[in-house]
Structures are given as structure tokens and as C-alpha cells.
Structure 1
């Protein structure tokens, strides 16, 4: 009787963990997107991640068209403090503690804020070095999330994996992510994510790959 394939088994077509990391980092370095999957005993989901400082309107349209449509902007804590973006709620009771802040919109250069172009404008505004709190309206159609300062050692989430990949690729510590869904509206699990990655020529890497690499480096 055939046994269901494990995470590692399904991901093996994309190479070893080290090769998967290298491919993902190179794609991020070039301004492209990657799929990051978490543990099968956690959310067991995959997010498409792009570097925020390179996101294009076409890439944003792809996220809106093929994913959940909830486009998130991942930022470090110090950046969110500078922009005066407080937590969405005072007491976070989310199952995995995802640290959403209030949602945002660029004050200028957008219409309704919903279009791909408007969301890119909002992201570019928020990550600009000279952005001030008053440059962002609240609420809006882009959802910032605070990355745990302790990184993947503190929280094995897509949020922390996003910042980890940006650092590895030498990009600004800011990323855009959106969860991959199936056409029928259900969440894509690993078999569907692998097929999606192949169809759209996206590297795929797991949070376990990234966390394991950090552990190896710490004992080397």
C-alpha cells in the first residue's frame, strides 16, 4: 500500500534543502517571487513572497488573481514604530499570533486603493525612507504584519521567513506575501503548492529548510 509522501519527499524534486534555499534566495535577489511552505502540523499552507522594494503591478495582479487577495506587507518592528502603525487589536488571540497592524493606504497617488497599481503604490509609499506616518491613511487595503525580532528561532511563521529571505538576498527587510488558494476556494496544501510552483516556475522552500540551515550554521 502506498504511503502518503512527506514534506521532504514532495519537495525533493526542487533539490536538497540547501539547493532550495539557494534557488529561493537568487529569485528574491532578482526581484522575483517564491513559495514558502510551513510545517504540516502548523498552518500547512504556502505563501507567495516578493521583495517589497521590487514588487511590480504585474506581480501584484498575479497575487490578487491567484491567491487569497489578502496582500500583506511584512516589516520589522522598528519600521512599524517609525510609521506609527499599532497592532490591529490590543489583545492578539489569533491561533498563531500573527501580528497584524492596522491596515494602510497611501494618502496620495491612489483611487479606491483596491487595484493592483494602488496596492503597489501603498507598499512603495510605506517602505520609502522618507515615509512619515501622515503619508499613510488608515484603514486601507494593504495589511502590514510585524515580524518577530527573534526571527525563525522565535517564531516559525511565513512572516519571519519573509524577512529571513530578504536578508539572505541582500534586499531591504520588507516583503509582500499572499496565501495560495485552490480555484475552488480551499487553501492549497503541499501537493497543490508543488503543482502550482511547477506551473508558474516558482522556487519553493520550506520554513523547515530555513530554520534547519540556521541551526547548522549555529553549530558549525
Structure 2
């Protein structure tokens, strides 16, 4: 077994078990490593790890089909302001941001407990839609309010064939491990420089904590 195959198998096994995986996208794209969880496995302790050890924006990526079913738009299409009229992302054609939400049973929405509740309820919603239950925008609005503190991301319609972001890489992991298309992604930042955590430091963090680390190109080669 090659070392690449071994890394991928370990990452998939961990993700299937609800454990986090570190995914580095591509040096010629964002050049970032994200800490990625299956959304349904996120606990308040996991949220604490995401904000303390990763430090980026805690988001839940859902598939394009689920987003369509519950009427989740691309955020830039909903903002009536000149700032949203055009963008110049250096790493992609468009942002995958949809609505930021809180579950209606949360208080402020920002605490570890509140964000974990919102995240796991989003995962439950995705499972409901995937099961073919009649669940649309009104049902979504009965459970979630916007704006909130958990950013929802829309996956590209054809996944990795359309876009090579952490959104699609995480959703590809979910599909490969027979989990609902709902994953948490959060960028890992360097406390000293304030920049993206280097791949060397991300690998060391993974080794120190016993988490798998995988390169985006490995996932694309195996899963696209």
C-alpha cells in the first residue's frame, strides 16, 4: 500500500467515525489547511477546538441539491449593495457563501453550545431532505433564523468536477463515507503571523493530535 493510499484510507476511516480531518487545498488556490468534521458529529467541545486550534470561520457546507430544496441562495445574489455587485476573488470564480443562520432554540447563537446545536440541527435537516421528506424553505425558516452565527456554504452542483474548494473537498469525503452532505470546515490560522497555518505546522498539529492530514490533490485524484 502506498503512503498516499494509506493517508487517504486513514482519513476516510476517521471521517466515517465522526473524527476531524485536516485537508490542505492547493498551493495555487487558497493554500490553506482546514479542519473538517462531519456536521452531525460536532459537539460543543469540537466547536471549542475549531475556534481555538483552527481560528478561522466556522462554516457548514451542504450540497447544492439540499440548498436548492430549502431555498438557500448564494449570499452575494441577495445583497442589494454595490459591494456585492462584483467580486475579484484571486482564487475562484465565486464565493460559496449562503445565509448565516442560528437554530431558533439557541440564545445569542455564538456560544459553543449554541453553535454546536445549530450545526447538528443543520445536519439533521440535510438528512431529512436526503430522505425525501417534504421539507422546503418554510420548514427551514421554522427551524432556523438569519442572520446568525453559523455560515452555510453551497457546494458546487457537480462537486469536485465544478470547483476545488474546501466546501467540495469536504462534501466529497462525506459522499465517500456514506454520510449526509453536511460538513464543517474551518481555516487553520497561525497565532504568531496571523496568516494561514503553514503545511508543515498543520502536519505537525495533525501528528501531535492523532488526526489525519490529507492533500486536496489526493482527494481529487481518488474521489472525483
1:138-175 deviation line (CA, Å, top 9, x unaligned): 01110111111212122111111101101111111110
Residues 86, 102 of structure 1: 8 Å contact kept: yes
Give the corresponding residue for 1:40. Answer: 27
Match status 1:206 vs 2:206: no
After superposition, the C-alpha distances for 1:95-137 in whole angstroms (9 at most, x for unaligned) are: 32231002111111x1111111101111122232266232111
Q: What SS does the aligned partner of 1:102 have?
A: strand
With over 3 angstroms needed to count, the CA separation of the structure-2 counterparts of 1:153 and 1:16, relative to structure 1, is farther
- Residues 1:99 and 2:107 are matched in the alignment: no
Q: Distance in 2 between matches of 1:73 and 1:92?
A: 24
1:41 deviation in Å? Answer: 1.2
| Larger fraction in helix | 2
CA shift, 1:69, in A, is 4.2
Residue 53 of structure 1 aligns with which residue?
Answer: 40
Counterpart-to-counterpart distance in 1, 2:221 and 2:211: 21
Partner Cα separation in structure 2 for residue 65 and residue 214 of structure 1: 30
Determine the structure 2 residue equivalent to 1:85: 72
Q: Is the CA contact (8 Å cut-off) linking 1:103 and 1:142 kept in structure 2?
A: yes
CA deviation profile, 1:49-102 (whole Å, cap 9, x unmatched): 000111111111100111224100010112122332221112562332231002
TM-score, normalising length: structure 2? 0.84
* Structure 2 residue 53 is the aligned partner of structure 1 residue 66: yes
Would you say how many aligned residue pairs link Structure 1 and Structure 2? 200
Aligned alpha-carbon RMSD (Å):
1.7
Pairing 1:195–2:204 present? yes
Tell me, in whole angstroms, the C-alpha distance in 2 between the residues paired with 1:140 and 1:127: 16
Q: Is the 8 A contact 2:63 2:155 kept in 1?
A: yes
Does the CA contact (< 8 Å) of 1:82 and 1:133 recur in 2?
no
Rate the CA distance shift 1:124–1:181 in 2: closer, same or farther, 3 A: same
Is residue 92–residue 99 contact of structure 1 (8 Å, CA) maintained in 2?
Answer: no
Taking structure 1 as the reference length, the TM-score comes to 0.85
Secondary structure, counterpart of 1:32 in structure 2: coil
Deviates more, 1:190-199 or 1:125-134: 125-134
Aligned-partner Cα distance in 2 for 1:196–1:189: 10
Q: Which residue of the partner structure matches residue 25 of structure 1?
A: 12
Tell me, in whole angstroms, the C-alpha distance in 2 between the residues paired with 1:149 and 1:24: 24
In the other structure, the counterpart of 1:10 is none
| Cα distance between partner residues in 2 of 1:67 and 1:53 | 19
How far has the Cα of 1:205 moved from its partner? Answer: 0.7
Q: Which runs of 4+ in 1 moved over 3 A?
A: none
Distance 2:71 2:55 in 1: 27
